[in-house]
Amino acid sequence: MPIKLINFEIKGDERGKLIALEENKNIPFEIKRVYYIYGTESGVRRGFHSHKKIEQVLICTSGSCKILLDDGHSKENIELNSPHQGLIITKDIWHEMYDFSPNCVLTVLANQHYDESDYIRNYADFLAYISQNK
Ligand code: TYD
Protein backbone atom coordinates (compact mmCIF):
# COMPACT_ATOMS: atom_id res chain seq x y z
CA MET A 1 0.00 0.00 0.00
CA PRO A 2 1.58 3.32 -0.99
CA ILE A 3 1.83 5.84 1.85
CA LYS A 4 0.69 9.24 0.61
CA LEU A 5 2.72 11.99 2.23
CA ILE A 6 2.72 15.69 1.40
CA ASN A 7 5.76 17.84 2.17
CA PHE A 8 4.57 21.37 2.86
CA GLU A 9 6.74 24.27 1.81
CA ILE A 10 8.18 26.04 4.86
CA LYS A 11 8.04 29.82 4.67
CA GLY A 12 10.98 30.22 6.98
CA ASP A 13 12.95 33.37 7.69
CA GLU A 14 15.17 34.64 10.49
CA ARG A 15 12.12 34.95 12.78
CA GLY A 16 11.10 31.30 12.51
CA LYS A 17 8.83 29.15 10.36
CA LEU A 18 5.35 29.30 8.88
CA ILE A 19 3.32 26.81 6.89
CA ALA A 20 0.13 27.68 5.03
CA LEU A 21 -2.50 25.06 4.16
CA GLU A 22 -4.85 25.85 1.28
CA GLU A 23 -7.69 23.80 -0.11
CA ASN A 24 -7.15 22.37 -3.57
CA LYS A 25 -3.58 23.65 -3.48
CA ASN A 26 -1.29 21.84 -1.06
CA ILE A 27 -4.34 20.13 0.49
CA PRO A 28 -5.85 17.94 -2.25
CA PHE A 29 -9.51 18.62 -1.44
CA GLU A 30 -12.03 21.17 -0.21
CA ILE A 31 -11.46 21.68 3.54
CA LYS A 32 -14.83 21.32 5.30
CA ARG A 33 -13.60 20.51 8.80
CA VAL A 34 -10.52 20.84 10.99
CA TYR A 35 -10.07 19.07 14.30
CA TYR A 36 -7.14 18.28 16.54
CA ILE A 37 -6.35 15.54 18.99
CA TYR A 38 -4.19 16.55 21.96
CA GLY A 39 -3.64 15.70 25.60
CA THR A 40 -3.71 12.00 24.67
CA GLU A 41 -2.94 9.84 27.69
CA SER A 42 0.11 7.61 27.59
CA GLY A 43 -0.52 4.16 26.07
CA VAL A 44 -3.78 5.20 24.38
CA ARG A 45 -4.57 3.81 20.95
CA ARG A 46 -7.44 5.44 19.07
CA GLY A 47 -9.05 5.64 15.67
CA PHE A 48 -10.03 2.04 14.90
CA HIS A 49 -12.21 2.94 11.95
CA SER A 50 -12.36 3.53 8.21
CA HIS A 51 -14.46 5.98 6.23
CA LYS A 52 -16.83 5.35 3.35
CA LYS A 53 -16.33 8.79 1.78
CA ILE A 54 -14.37 11.12 4.07
CA GLU A 55 -10.77 11.87 3.12
CA GLN A 56 -8.34 13.46 5.54
CA VAL A 57 -4.86 14.92 5.89
CA LEU A 58 -3.17 14.33 9.27
CA ILE A 59 -0.45 16.68 10.43
CA CYS A 60 1.47 16.29 13.67
CA THR A 61 1.78 20.01 14.34
CA SER A 62 3.55 19.31 17.64
CA GLY A 63 5.31 16.23 19.00
CA SER A 64 4.92 12.83 17.40
CA CYS A 65 2.61 9.87 17.03
CA LYS A 66 2.35 6.74 14.93
CA ILE A 67 -0.36 5.73 12.50
CA LEU A 68 -1.31 2.22 11.39
CA LEU A 69 -2.83 2.14 7.90
CA ASP A 70 -4.57 -0.99 6.64
CA ASP A 71 -6.24 -1.36 3.25
CA GLY A 72 -7.49 -4.86 4.03
CA HIS A 73 -4.61 -6.46 2.17
CA SER A 74 -1.51 -4.97 3.79
CA LYS A 75 -0.63 -2.84 6.78
CA GLU A 76 1.85 0.01 7.11
CA ASN A 77 2.99 1.95 10.16
CA ILE A 78 4.29 5.48 9.90
CA GLU A 79 5.55 7.97 12.46
CA LEU A 80 4.42 11.56 12.06
CA ASN A 81 6.82 13.91 13.80
CA SER A 82 7.01 17.01 11.66
CA PRO A 83 4.68 19.99 11.17
CA HIS A 84 5.77 20.18 7.54
CA GLN A 85 4.54 16.72 6.64
CA GLY A 86 0.93 15.67 5.95
CA LEU A 87 -0.37 12.11 5.68
CA ILE A 88 -3.31 11.59 3.33
CA ILE A 89 -5.81 9.00 4.49
CA THR A 90 -8.30 8.27 1.75
CA LYS A 91 -11.59 6.44 2.18
CA ASP A 92 -11.53 2.67 2.76
CA ILE A 93 -8.37 2.72 4.90
CA TRP A 94 -8.63 1.28 8.40
CA HIS A 95 -6.48 3.44 10.68
CA GLU A 96 -5.30 3.52 14.27
CA MET A 97 -3.20 6.16 16.03
CA TYR A 98 -0.79 5.29 18.86
CA ASP A 99 2.46 6.18 20.66
CA PHE A 100 1.39 9.80 21.14
CA SER A 101 4.12 11.93 22.71
CA PRO A 102 2.86 13.96 25.70
CA ASN A 103 3.07 17.18 23.67
CA CYS A 104 1.46 15.71 20.54
CA VAL A 105 -1.08 17.83 18.69
CA LEU A 106 -2.46 15.86 15.77
CA THR A 107 -4.26 18.25 13.44
CA VAL A 108 -6.67 16.76 10.92
CA LEU A 109 -8.21 18.38 7.85
CA ALA A 110 -11.24 16.65 6.33
CA ASN A 111 -13.18 17.07 3.12
CA GLN A 112 -16.58 16.56 4.80
CA HIS A 113 -18.38 17.59 7.94
CA TYR A 114 -18.55 15.15 10.83
CA ASP A 115 -20.93 12.34 9.93
CA GLU A 116 -21.04 9.23 12.10
CA SER A 117 -22.78 7.30 9.29
CA ASP A 118 -19.57 7.61 7.24
CA TYR A 119 -17.64 5.58 9.83
CA ILE A 120 -17.03 1.83 9.86
CA ARG A 121 -15.92 1.07 13.42
CA ASN A 122 -15.80 -2.71 13.30
CA TYR A 123 -12.86 -4.41 11.56
CA ALA A 124 -14.88 -7.37 10.22
CA ASP A 125 -17.43 -4.90 8.78
CA PHE A 126 -14.53 -2.99 7.15
CA LEU A 127 -13.24 -6.15 5.43
CA ALA A 128 -16.76 -7.03 4.25
CA TYR A 129 -17.37 -3.47 3.00
CA ILE A 130 -14.19 -3.22 0.94
CA SER A 131 -14.70 -6.65 -0.61
CA GLN A 132 -18.26 -5.65 -1.63
CA ASN A 133 -17.14 -2.29 -3.02
CA LYS A 134 -14.15 -3.41 -5.10
P1 TYD B 1 -13.72 9.43 17.90
O2 TYD B 1 -14.26 9.18 16.53
O3 TYD B 1 -13.98 8.41 18.95
O4 TYD B 1 -12.17 9.68 17.81
P5 TYD B 1 -11.04 8.69 17.23
O6 TYD B 1 -11.63 7.97 16.06
O7 TYD B 1 -9.94 9.61 16.88
O8 TYD B 1 -10.65 7.73 18.29
O9 TYD B 1 -14.25 10.86 18.34
C10 TYD B 1 -14.35 11.24 19.70
C11 TYD B 1 -15.63 12.03 19.89
O12 TYD B 1 -15.58 13.26 19.16
C13 TYD B 1 -16.86 11.27 19.43
O14 TYD B 1 -17.89 11.53 20.37
C15 TYD B 1 -17.20 11.91 18.11
C16 TYD B 1 -16.71 13.34 18.28
N17 TYD B 1 -16.27 14.00 17.05
C18 TYD B 1 -16.96 15.11 16.60
O19 TYD B 1 -17.96 15.55 17.19
N20 TYD B 1 -16.53 15.74 15.47
C21 TYD B 1 -15.45 15.32 14.77
O22 TYD B 1 -15.09 15.93 13.76
C23 TYD B 1 -14.74 14.14 15.24
C24 TYD B 1 -13.54 13.63 14.50
C25 TYD B 1 -15.18 13.53 16.38
Angle (CA) 76-31-39 rounded to 5° is 60
Give catalytic residue positions: 49
CB 67 within 8 Å of CB 77: yes
- Say how many Å lie between the CA of residue 124 and the centre of ligand 1: 21
CA–CA distances in Å: residue 91 to residues 8, 27, 53, 105? 22, 16, 5, 23
Confidence of residue 133 (pLDDT cuts 50, 70, 90): confident
- In angstroms, rounded to a whole number, what is the distance separating the alpha carbons of residues 13 and 95? 36
Is pLDDT of 7 > 90?
yes
- In angstroms, rounded to a whole number, what is the distance separating the alpha carbons of residues 2 and 55? 16
pTM for this one?
0.97
- Say how many Å lie between the CA of residue 75 and the centre of ligand 1: 23
- In angstroms, rounded to a whole number, what is the distance separating the alpha carbons of residues 113 and 108? 12
- Say how many Å lie between the CA of residue 116 and the centre of ligand 1: 9
Mean pLDDT over each residue of the chain, to the nearest integer:
97
**Binding-site residues, ligand 1, Cβ < 6 A:** 33, 35, 37, 46-47, 49, 114
For atom 2 of ligand 1, which residue has the closest CA?
47
Q: pLDDT per residue over 32-88, tens digit each?
A: 999 999 999 999 999 999 999 999 999 999 999 999 999 999 999 999 999 999 999
